Amino acid sequence: MSQRVAFKQVDVFTSAPFNGNPLAVILDAASLTDRQMAEIARWTNLSETTFVLPAEDAQADYRVRIFTVDGELPFAGHPTLGTAHALLEAGLQPKRAGELVQECAVGLVKLAIAADGSLAFAAPAAVMTPFASDRVGAALNSADIDEQLAMSVVDMGIRWLLIPMRSAEAVLAAQPQVSELAALLQEAGVSGAMPFGPLHDAAEQFEVRGLLVENGSLTEDPVTGSANACLARWLASQGHTTNYAVRQGTRLGRSGRLQVRFDGETIWIAGQTVTVIDGTIRL
């Protein structure tokens, strides 16, 4: 007899379908084995698939495991918002009004529920390490690296290399060279690189890209919650604690949007999420 599990596919960091970063959510994974989770994640072929489980920590509303097609992640940003959206839409009642607490491999992550339906997660703590390399210009095929600002490796469960560039135009003009980028990522010991640059005369203040090399090929993430959380932590360490907005996915024809809010020691990464597919998976 086949088994059916509730499933949603949502688009994260967008208010309109097909403009953000898609995520598959299995709403009740208590009966699934690790092997089944891995098989489902490979089948969806999305950057991440999440599996919701009963919380083990009494403070948490739910527990989530986050899988890529290749393995499991301790934390990721757009899966955090997308899973919360899917659960609330399915009728989850938070333990505390206006907030959720997600349990995952990095610990407890708090989410805020806004009146307009947008969600925000509190950026986890991060370890920041200054980084320098002669490979960066070749990796991005660009001479517009902003040498006035120091590059940094930021570790938030996922490790990102933050690369400041002189302008948003420079970020969009970068044409990564796969072999050089792969060597740079290996040298830095990171999952991906995030070039970022300032936007002027726009509703957003930064243009960013999330660049990875997977199986020898360049992959660009449409909208990246964890990398933006790393950037926010890095900016705070530089004394930048003014709220700002981010544009990502432009080179991919997407229009991902994030808002970053500073509230004392807490940094909130916020965005809209919409459901695109709602149904069941047959196992």
Task: List active site positions.
Answer: 48
Q: Which residues pair with 263 in a beta bridge?
A: 266
Contacts of 224 (CB under 8 A, 6+ apart): 21, 77, 78, 192, 194, 208, 210, 248
Structure tokens at 255: 């229009």
Q: What is the DSSP letter of 169?
A: H
Cα dihedral across residues 43, 48, 52, 53: positive or negative:
positive
CA angle 172, 196, 86 (to 5 degrees): 95
Using CA atoms, how far residue 148 sits from 130, 151, 238, in Å, is 13, 10, 12
